[in-house]
Amino acid sequence: MFEQPTAAFREGFPQDTAAGRIPFDKMGTIVIFGATGDLAGRKLIPAIYNLWEAGYLPPEVNVVGVARREKSDDDYRTDMCEELKKHSRTGHGGDDACNPFVSNLFYHRVNFAENADLTSLAQRLTEIEDERETPHNRLFYLATGPEFFAPLVQRLGEAGLVYGPNDSNWSRVVIEKPFGNDLESARQLNQAITRVLTEEQIYRIDHYLGKETVQNIFAFRFGNAIFEPLFNQKYVDHVQITVAETLGVEGRGEFYDATGALHDVVQNHALQLLCLAAMEPPVEFRAKDIRDEKLKALRSIHLPNTKEPSEWLVRGQYAEGFGEPGYLSEEEVDPNSETETFVALRLSVDNWRWAGVPFFIRSGKRLKKRLTEIAIQFRKPPLQYFKKLGVDAPEANELVFRIQPKEAISLSFNAKPPGMDFQIRPVNMDFRYGRTFREDLPDAYERLLLDALRGDSTLFTRADEIEVAWQIVNSIRDAWQGLPPPELYRPRSWGPASADRMFDCCQGHWRTPEDEDEWRSP
């Protein structure tokens, strides 16, 4: 039913690694555990397809889906064609485009919930690779529930699916989030998987690190000489990190109710963004050096030393509104739940560069806008020259990394509008991805999958980073033991009103960009 790529196609594939391509002999079979799940259909298969279509992967790329349901290869191929039609970023994946690609897909049933061993999978992989004359390298992607991470890694080892450092082939394991649900469980998971794998074989995913705009923070900070000297306590008043979503829990009530905004987004995405904004320049632009610097930034984080945690920590829960249920009425959510769907907090990065600069983080669901950004708020000018002219004090300069949507970097400064009187008004210098590069941004999973296949772990989190992030989050949780239950907030707002109290200590207020275009020139 499904066409095979022809040998001529393979022979025509360039064997160099220019422009990030993976040559045929370096490629590995991609094995997805949890192959019938949402992540595989919505993100992973479309990402592999887009990489393949763009020529980053050789024409014969083996993708083996592993899950518990009974299914034939052809059933799986048909299902994935449907997913591609719905989710491929390039808008392709219709039947014609889908056909040669999905013939690379295979399905293998394993009931890993019952700890079935993986010997049959090992045999199947060898058969597929031998038959298609492809290398025996393997990338295992664990897109399953977190309870299967440690047992699956153990079973991979037992089935002989993990190569040693002296083997000529490679095996790597990508582990989805959540990586643990507190410090202790993250440590246990790290211990369990490192009994089987070396750190170099482990790729812990935080999909935020694969976003183009997040990677561009490196380019912006360390590829320009003019901004980096300003990134410190002498010039920066405070930093605001926002990860706001308009969606609610979207059918993930059970997972979310056991997780909450602090664990779901702050422990990983928000703290990773903070690291990239706050870290020192790495010795070299390679995985170890970058991760060392991120780790140092994380280790410098401290929570405010006050008796009253509500001065720096606010939790909220979305109420009913706009025809949509409140959090407590969502399916599979405990109607008395105290899980937070919004969290805002202030912390400090106590190192030479950032001492005394507050870092504010907020994240929540059902907020006014889908918006992820890092805003660096600079200090105000030291003298108020224009006050005598009756001119309002100029606004502080602001540098905003708009991670999504409408990806951009914007710098605001003050200017005099034309006219016979003297006024001052903030204006913006903007760089917009869409306008400058005029190409569709790749999905984060495309970049991360390609990096894992290439063996580049720069954009994945290391064991020690994850553990320090959990330490911070554990301390935040300890601090909120004394707080009242989360405060209700109106959907399509910027969260509970009490989040504003956090600025009592400092200048400024939460940014509330009303309209994406308002804060940037047309």
Number of residues forming the site for ligand BG6 (CB under 6 A): 5
Nearer to ligand BG6, 69 or 370 (CB): 370
Instruction: In whole angstroms, give the CA distance from residue 504 to residue 267.
Output: 25
Applying CB under 6 A, which of residues 245, 340, 373, 487 lies at the interface with ligand BG6? Answer: 245
The one-letter amino acid code at 493 reads: S
- Choose which of 129, 237, 264, 451 interacts with ligand BG6 (CB under 6 A): 264
Calpha distance 327→257 (Å, rounded): 9
Q: Rank residues 87 and 155 by Cβ distance to ligand BG6 and give the closer one.
A: 87
Nearer to ligand BG6 (CB atom), residue 32 or residue 371: 371
Q: Which is nearer to ligand BG6, 202 or 403 (CB)?
A: 403
Cβ neighbours, 10 Å, residue 494: 23
Site track 158-197 with ligand BG6 (rule: CB under 6 A), x = hit: -------------------x--------------------
* Structure tokens given for 210: 């694969």
Query: Of residues 136, 263, 269, 302, which has the active-site annotation?
Result: 269
Question: At its nearest, how many Å lie between ligand BG6 and the CB of residue 212?
Answer: 12
CB of 264 or CB of 451, closer to ligand BG6 = 264
Token reading at 442: 């790749």
Beta strands at 371-378 and 342-349: parallel, antiparallel or unpaired:
unpaired
What distances in angstroms separate CA 99 from CA 7, 80, 104, 246, 430, one per listed residue?
A: 16, 11, 9, 36, 42
Of 6, 26, 5, 4, nearest in space to 15 by CA: 26
CB of 396 vs ligand BG6, minimal distance in Å: 27
Site for ligand BG6 in 372-411 (CB under 6 A): 372
Strand 105-109 relative to strand 202-204: parallel, antiparallel, unpaired?
Answer: unpaired
Q: How far is the CB of 265 from ligand BG6 (least distance, A)?
A: 6
Q: Per rule CB under 6 A, is residue 446 in the interface with ligand BG6? A: no
Q: How many CA atoms lie within 13 A of 50 on its CB side?
A: 25
Please report how close the Cβ of residue 443 comes to ligand BG6 at its closest, in angstroms.
9
CB nearer ligand BG6, residue 245 or residue 446: 245
Minimum CB separation of residue 80 from ligand BG6 in Å reads 22
Q: Least distance (Å) from ligand BG6 to the CB of residue 281?
A: 27
3-state SS string for 234-262: CCEEEEEEEEECCCCCCCCHHHHHCCHHH
Give yes or no: 87 in active site: no
Cα–Cα dist 393/387, whole Å: 7
Position closest to ligand BG6 via CB:
264
Within 10 A of 365 (CB to CB), how many other CB atoms are there?
Answer: 24
Round to whole Å and give the CA distance between 54 and 330.
40
Footprint on residues 419-438 left by ligand BG6 (CB under 6 A)? none
Which parts of 26-45 interact with ligand BG6 (CB under 6 A)? none
Residue 487's closest CA among 476, 495, 479? 495
Residues in contact with ligand BG6 by the rule CB under 6 A: 177, 245, 264-265, 372
Active-site residue set:
269
